[in-house]
Amino acid sequence: TQLLEQSPQFLSIQEGENLTVYCNSSSVFSSLQWYRQEPGEGPVLLVTVVTGGEVKKLKRLTFQFGDARKDSSLHITAAQPGDTGLYLCAGLYNQGGKLIFGQGTELSVKP
Amino acid sequence: GAVVSQHPSWVICKSGTSVKIECRSLDFQATTMFWYRQFPKQSLMLMATSNEGSKATYEQGVEKDKFLINHASLTLSTLTVTSAHPEDSSFYICSTVGGRDNEQFFGPGTRLTVL
């Protein structure tokens, strides 16, 4: 059974601080997707990483895919209250197949 | 990415009734859709894979007779919660597969409350 361990599950920080969210697995993924979800809404895709060692940036968010494609991280620089939400990583382990979701990280950024 | 809608966005029903939730792919022909449920402050749990023109594939522990899935066209999949009970109260979300890297695009979700 493929598992994707996401940590931390809860994070409460002050505006301006940096943070990193981790997703780790013993399985190799074809790709890994990061989503952000706000209460009462569906997840919104932030980025997809495909190549081992790949780094993608989205404004203050930096996403990295491990060399072996088993792990990924999301780093947020100078967090803002608008970054508050549930962050989900999800691994795709076969083309067109199911996503394996991490447990999610509930981020709260206080002004 | 693909645009996905769900209807209704929320529903309240009495215990024992059946509720149908629609998932529509508005700009993309979706041969495959996924149905998830989500409890507060938790991640998404895959319930089933909906395949156009064929039977859905259910995840282990999900009762196929309770959660009926129909995917009769390339733009519509429906999830019917039969004989709903309070423990079925949850946030139900569907998704389609699209994009260059087989990303999933999610609907806005349906909040089901069973009294």
- Which whole number is the average pLDDT over A48-60? 96
pLDDT in tens, B42-85: 899 999 999 888 889 999 999 999 999 999 888 999 999 999 99
Substitution target in B44, B95, B105 with the highest count of A β-carbons within 10 Å is: B44
Stretch A49-63: mean pLDDT: 96
Average pLDDT, chain A: 93
* Tokens representing residue A111 in the block: 């002004």
**Domain, as residue range, for A14:** 5-110
> A29: domain CATH number?
2.60.40.10
Does any CB of chain B come closer than 8 Å to the CB of residue A103? yes
Torsion over CA: B47, A87, A65, B101 (sign): positive
Position of tokens 């919104």? A44
Q: How far apart are CA B31 and CA A84, in angstroms?
A: 34
Residue B4: the pLDDT is: 94
Count of domains observed in chain A: 1
| Res. B34: pLDDT tops 90 | yes
Nearest Cβ partner for B109 among A41, A90, A99 = A41
A106 interfacial to chain B (CB closer than 8 Å): yes
Give the full edge-to-edge strand order of the sheet including A71-76: A5-7, A19-24, A71-76, A61-65, A55-58
Chain B residues close to A33, C-beta within 8 Å: 103-104
CB contact under 8 A, A45 and B1: yes
